[in-house]
Homo-oligomer: A and B are copies of this chain.
């Protein structure tokens, strides 16, 4: 079982691979072929330092040669924990979901973990039972929660009780840092506000998302901060309650634009609603951006498909996802302070729906 064997028994190596054409090699095969116990092979798999360097190398060589990969199912059974990561979500926007999935997968690539998707409905009576069953039955290694389920305070206690790792993605911190990835939406709201105020707008309208969504509050908070910087305040008469949908954006804009003192600019709390604002403006024959400036939030593909192309706030959803799964798999020691990387922060993208007021 030394290096000398390679040139000595070329035929032996051939048949070695042949043995595994219709059967995958197991830990026992590796142990047998390398002359150690399976426990030692297990140590190598689990990167235990308590293995002599020579032995480890030889074992790795054999593993590579016969194309061995440990069976996640068997490992999971013994570990009492699978190598599956669940994404639990209720965000209805397809672009958000897909970007987030891609990001989570980015952070999981090469780790041996797989992503199991699990949409849910917070309003359902069986919601909590469903989540619990999902996590418990699959013995999930961990779970990623995205807005707005991530904001539901009933879920974390259950996960803690079951002993399931979790990361909550939200616009603002809601939990201990080791359980959070924060998107800082108020910064995006402030960027939108500064842009509009900077163009000279003073009557700036706001269309919110549903009240139960933290992101909507954060985006509004940012807007208000920016206005205050300019000595302005958000006029309650220029605020409308939307629901993050295209239709609600349309209705709210129709409403706002027909009020006695209508806004010269509207900040819609997401792109879907901003698209509705554009439709409403057309319906009322109000030209954008000449007579009305519009800013959205998300910077999904839709923003570039609209006409005029939408000025909006970019959220690095995929990057946030990547961080979330990375953090779930490799918990950051509490000592290490996470620095805010600008790549994970929202940023304004100026296109064609904003201009100075007439």
Given known contacts A94-B99, A116-B116, A305 and B275 CB-to-CB distance under 8 angstroms: yes
CA distance A99 to B98 in the complex (A): 11
**In A79-127, which residues have CB < 8 Å from any B CB?**
82, 84, 94-95, 97-99, 101-102, 105, 112, 114-119
- A328 an interface residue at 8 Å Cβ cutoff? no
List residues of chain B with CB within 8 A of the CB of A278: 307
Contact of A137 (CB < 8 Å), options: B69, B94, B118, B272: B69
- A306 an interface residue at 8 Å Cβ cutoff? yes
List residues of chain B with CB within 8 A of the CB of A133: 69
- A203 an interface residue at 8 Å Cβ cutoff? no
Contact assessment for A305 and B307 in the assembled complex, using a CB-CB cutoff below 8 Å: no
A65-86 interface code vs B (CB 8 A; 1 in, 0 out): 0000101111011000010100
Contact of A279 (CB < 8 Å), options: B74, B117, B139, B307: B307
**In A263-296, which residues have CB < 8 Å from any B CB?**
272, 275, 278-279, 282
A240-283 interface code vs B (CB 8 A; 1 in, 0 out): 00000010000000000000000000000000100100110010
List residues of chain B with CB within 8 A of the CB of A115: 116-117
- A136 an interface residue at 8 Å Cβ cutoff? yes
Give, as a whole number of angstroms, the nearest-CB distance from A117 to chain B. Answer: 6
- A24 an interface residue at 8 Å Cβ cutoff? yes
- A36 an interface residue at 8 Å Cβ cutoff? no
- A54 an interface residue at 8 Å Cβ cutoff? no
CA distance A94 to B100 in the complex (A): 11
Give, as a whole number of angstroms, the nearest-CB distance from A312 to chain B. Answer: 14
- A302 an interface residue at 8 Å Cβ cutoff? yes
Give the total of A residues in contact with B, Cβ under 8 Å: 42
Contact assessment for A98 and B102 in the assembled complex, using a CB-CB cutoff below 8 Å: no
Given known contacts A95-B94, A114-B116, A246 and B305 CB-to-CB distance under 8 angstroms: yes
Give, as a whole number of angstroms, the nearest-CB distance from A310 to chain B. Answer: 10
List residues of chain B with CB within 8 A of the CB of A307: 278-279, 282, 306-307
Given known contacts A74-B77, A305-B302, A305-B306, A98 and B94 CB-to-CB distance under 8 angstroms: yes
A314-338 interface code vs B (CB 8 A; 1 in, 0 out): 0000000000000000000000000
- A301 an interface residue at 8 Å Cβ cutoff? yes
List residues of chain B with CB within 8 A of the CB of A301: 94, 246
- A138 an interface residue at 8 Å Cβ cutoff? yes
Given known contacts A94-B99, A116-B114, A282-B307, A137 and B71 CB-to-CB distance under 8 angstroms: yes
Shortest 4 CB-CB distances between A and B: which pairs? Answer: A94-B98, A275-B305, A94-B94, A94-B95
Q: List 23 A-B contacts (CB under 8 A).
A: A71-B77, A71-B137, A71-B139, A72-B138, A73-B73, A73-B77, A84-B84, A84-B114, A84-B116, A94-B94, A94-B97, A94-B98, A94-B301, A95-B95, A105-B117, A115-B117, A117-B117, A246-B304, A275-B305, A282-B307, A302-B305, A306-B307, A307-B307
